[in-house]
Amino acid sequence: MAINKIVGSAEEAVADVFDGAMILVGGFGTIASCPSRLLTALSERPEVRNLTLVSNPGGFGVEIWGEHDIEVLHRTGQARKHIVSAPTNPLIVNTVEKKYRAGEVEVEMVPQGTLAERVRAGRAGLGGVLTPTGVGIAEIQDGKPVVEMDGKKFLIEKAIKGDFAFIRAHKADRWGNLVFQGTSRTFNATMAGAARVTIAEVDEIVELGELHYEHIITPGVYVDRVVLRK
């Protein structure tokens, strides 16, 4: 039977997300790089709670172009923990900051490069990574093992492998091969395959073979479901 990873709707794509799941959410912080439709669909299943979110941004908390970002899962109270690099922004006190101050959400702050590499390690089957980032910085070192290699000190940072990865791409084929647009590639390509189930929200679905093999950024093997933004 032919491979076909295309599903009919965002609702269908997130239907098996379960209570307590760890969800990696791609993008950098801009709406254009955010899997908004998948987040909206999950926010409409309020019974799914205690989520651990993994993402670069904490979310703006205002709808931009009528679309939600990751903030919506804090607004609905579905998130319990957020592993994040840039949770706040200087312009507003966002929902994750309010929930953190109220003791309702746990925040694990991770340097951005460490977050990217922990996720990549999760996809690559590594147990973790050795990084010099955070050595000598109390808030990051925080009891983690330090190893010395060739006279330099490194922290051992655990790999991240999620239950689901929600990512946003530009074009896909039915095998799940993906191409991105410009800087919207960011954590979307990094997170593909770093979860048991990777779901790609895309602008356009094309025929198999239409994406040139030299141009495919994320091979379809990392992608389980493709949903078209409508």
Partner 1 sequence: MTDTSDKIRIDEQTMALRVAREFKDGDTVNLGIGVPTLASNLVPMDREVIFHSENGALGYGQICTAGEGSPHLVNAGGQPVEVRPGLAVVDHAESFAFIRGGWLDYTVLGGLQVSEKGDLSNWMIPNKQIGTIGGAMDLALGAKNVIVVMPHNTKDGGYKIVKECSYPLTGVQCVTMVVTDIAVIRIDKRGMVLCEVAPGWTAEEVQALTEPKLVIDPDLTEIALA
| Beta-carbon-side half-sphere exposure of residue 146 (alpha carbons within 13 Å) | 14
Nearer to partner 1 (CB atom), residue 78 or residue 188: 188
Q: Which residues bind partner 1 (CB under 8 A)?
A: 28-33, 56, 85-89, 97, 100-101, 107, 109-114, 116-117, 119-120, 131-140, 181-190, 217
Round to whole Å and give the CA distance between 190 and 206. 22
H helix count then E strand count, the chain: 7, 12
Nearer to partner 1 (CB atom), residue 11 or residue 89: 89
Taking alpha carbons only, the member of 61, 16, 24 closest to residue 42 is 16
Nearer to partner 1 (CB atom), residue 117 or residue 173: 117
- Checking DSSP bridges between strand 162-172 and strand 195-205, what pairing results, if any? parallel
**Can you read off the two tokens belonging to residue 219?**
């091979």
Instruction: Name the E strands within 116-205.
Output: 128-131, 146-149, 152-158, 162-172, 178-179, 195-205
Give least dist CB 195 to partner 1, A. Answer: 15
Round to whole Å and give the CA distance between 194 and 200. 13
Nearer to partner 1 (CB atom), residue 63 or residue 131: 131
Give least dist CB 180 to partner 1, A. Answer: 8
Give least dist CB 35 to partner 1, A. Answer: 14
Residue type, 22: M
Nearer to partner 1 (CB atom), residue 17 or residue 155: 155
Nearer to partner 1 (CB atom), residue 45 or residue 80: 80
Give least dist CB 114 to partner 1, A. Answer: 7
User: Is residue 162 helix, strand or coil?
Assistant: strand
Give least dist CB 44 to partner 1, A. Answer: 25
Taking alpha carbons only, the member of 202, 152, 148 closest to residue 178 is 202
Give least dist CB 170 to partner 1, A. Answer: 8
